Structure 1
Amino acid sequence: MRTSRRPTSSAARLTVAGAAVLTLALTACGGGGPDAKSAGPAADASSPAAPAAPSAPSAGNTAGGGKGTGATPGPGAAKGPTGQTAGNAPVCTTKDLAISAAHQGGPPHTHIVLTAKNTSGRSCTLKGYPEVQFLESHRENVPAVAKSKPAAPVVLTAGAPAYALVKLSDGKAKEDVEPVAVFSVTLQGGGMAVVKAPGGEGIAVDPAKWATGYWTHELRDGADEF
């Protein structure tokens, strides 16, 4: 068994000093060996630490919803599918729209669908529901069904349509109906149009049963069932 001898204190000091000189020499030459990973001597503890470099903002989180690629727009920058809000789009008038009527389902034909297409070349707001009058003998407007009212105002871009469902009768054989070939549609705040009834023989309406829905971007199951 080999027994190691403990060096004297002076020899130990010489050995430590020699190791330190060798380390400094290797460091100065950049020769830390093939596996060396240190870029230089450790920082002096008394030296102030260098400030960390600020991290660059990501493209999707630019301050204020910036303009970088993928940045999220700030509040109020987004617009609806129409590109205009009800606050700045003028009210649609009969000069802005082409209004037509078509059967829905049947026979018996108990409902028609009114279509109002924006032909003005600009956006406009279609308010409320169509005020329909079918008969000279009944000058009152066909009553509206509240549950068909949309949650937001109907703003039509150029070329876009809106729809309103109108109930004519229950379609029963012994119903008290009257024939209609043409009828009037008044827009709320936008004038009146004369509309031709669909079908070669016109439509049959019952003043005790008729009703109309609000203008909507699309007919919705449930809200338009009346």
Structure 2
Amino acid sequence: MNTLHRTALLAATGTALVLSLTACQGDGGADSAPTSGSSVTVQSPSGKATDGSGTAGSGNSAGSGGSSAKAGANGSSGAAGSSGSGGSTGTSGSSGSSGSSSEQASASTPVCAAKDVHVTAATQDGPPYTHIVLTAKNTSRHSCRLTGFPHIQFLESHKQDVPAVAKSKPEAPVVLAAGDPAYALVKLSDGGREEDNEPVTAFSVMLAGDPTVIAVTAPGSEGIAVDPAKALTGYWTPELRNGADDF
């Protein structure tokens, strides 16, 4: 009887122990094995999001992707900026260098002397002839710079140079290559019959910076009629310009 009771008691105790162990194992499995589609994130002491194994989880992956995208954007932006900067610098530098070289070349070109040019005169328009055009052609074998205006004296009785018209002054220096001409418009009178005109068959011209007197033959078989009080001259220019040379 005692043997049977002990056997029954041991059997009941064993069954209870088995049930208890089974329940414990079931609870532990539910905690350690998340269902598919769920996400477990653990904050590590370093502040980085890690999964249960301690390695960087999906949070770091997203951050890494963001960094890559940012790096790509910065790369594109940098390339564009570099290209723009290069284009701008190239254009500005080229333009500035060209303008500076041109000015330096003009400044280094020697001034035309009387021996470098041949000066002639021709009437402009029809009668009454109120204007003539002076042409100074570079007859030398080198370039020269023609400065200022022609210093003209028409009559022996009037030693003053003919006044120059300021508005006819060119903006850029007049540099003549070998064989190139320059022009200056000269006013003789207003064309009126009651003016104090005097006949002129030849007159003198001097270039700025050179005291050499150049004798110029007046155009026409009878020469030209000049009113010393009305006479004016323009500056030397590469070509006659409408407006600036009208006086």
Q: Secondary structure at the match of 2:105?
A: coil
Question: Counterparts of 1:28-47 in structure 2 under 5 Å?
Answer: none
Instruction: State the AA in 1 paired with 2:245.
Output: D
Whole-Å separation in 1 of the counterparts to 2:185 and 2:199: 19
2:123 aligned partner: 103
Residue in 2 that maps onto 1:94: 114
Match of 1:200 in 2: 221
Partner of 1:138: 158
Code of the residue aligned with 2:187 in structure 1: it is: K
- Quote the residue 1:32 is aligned against: none
Match of 1:147 among 167, 177, 181: 167
User: Which blocks of at least 5 consecutive residues in structure 1 are unaligned?
Assistant: 1-44
Q: Does 1:187 align with 2:207?
A: yes
1:208, distance to aligned residue in structure 2 (A): 1.2
CA distance in 2 between counterparts of 1:62 and 1:181 reads 64
Distance 1:187 1:73, change over 3 A: same
Query: What count of residue pairs does the alignment treat as equivalent?
Result: 188
Please state whether the residue corresponding to 2:236 is helix, strand or coil.
Answer: coil
Give the deviation of 1:84 after TM superposition.
6.7
Query: Match for 1:215 among 236, 239, 246?
Result: 236
Partner of 2:44: none
Structure having the higher Rg: 2
Letter paired with 2:239: E
Instruction: Give how far 1:62 is off.
Output: 7.0
Once structures 1 and 2 are overlaid, which stretch shifts more, 215-224 or 162-171? Answer: 215-224
Asked whether the equivalents of residues 133 and 185 of structure 1 are also in contact (C-alpha less than 8 Å), the reply is yes
2:193 aligned residue (173, 181, 185) = 173
Which runs of at least 4 in structure 1 moved beyond 4 Å after TM superposition?
A: 61-66
Looking at structure 2, the residues matched to 84 and 104 of structure 1 have their Cα atoms a distance apart, in angstroms, of 36
Q: Which residue of 2 aligns with 1:225?
A: 246
Matching residue of 1:85: 105
Q: CA deviation at 1:192?
A: 2.5
Alpha-carbon distance between aligned partners in 2 of 1:145 and 1:85, rounded to the nearest angstrom? 27
In structure 2, C-alpha distance between the alignment counterparts of 1:95 and 1:79, rounded to whole Å = 30
TM-score, normalised on structure 2? 0.61
1:106-121 matches, within 5 Å, as: 106-121=126-141
131 and 209 in structure 1: CA distance in 2 versus 1, 3 angstrom threshold: same
Q: Deviations over 1:47-78 (max 9, x none)?
A: xx9x9x998x99xx978988xxxx99735542
Distance 2:213 2:104 in 1: 25
2: CA distance between counterparts of 1:93 and 1:76?
A: 31
Q: Give the SS at the match of 1:87.
A: helix
- Relative distance call for 1:222 and 1:63 in structure 2 (3 A) is closer
- State the TM-score, normalized to the length of structure 1: 0.66
**How far did residue 86 of structure 1 move?**
2.8
> Deviation of residue 102 (structure 1)?
0.5
Q: Determine which structure has the larger helix proportion and give its number.
A: 2
**Once superposed, what is the RMSD of the aligned Cα atoms?**
3.5
* Aligned equivalent of 2:143, options 123, 147, 171: 123
Query: Percent sequence identity over matched residues?
Result: 59
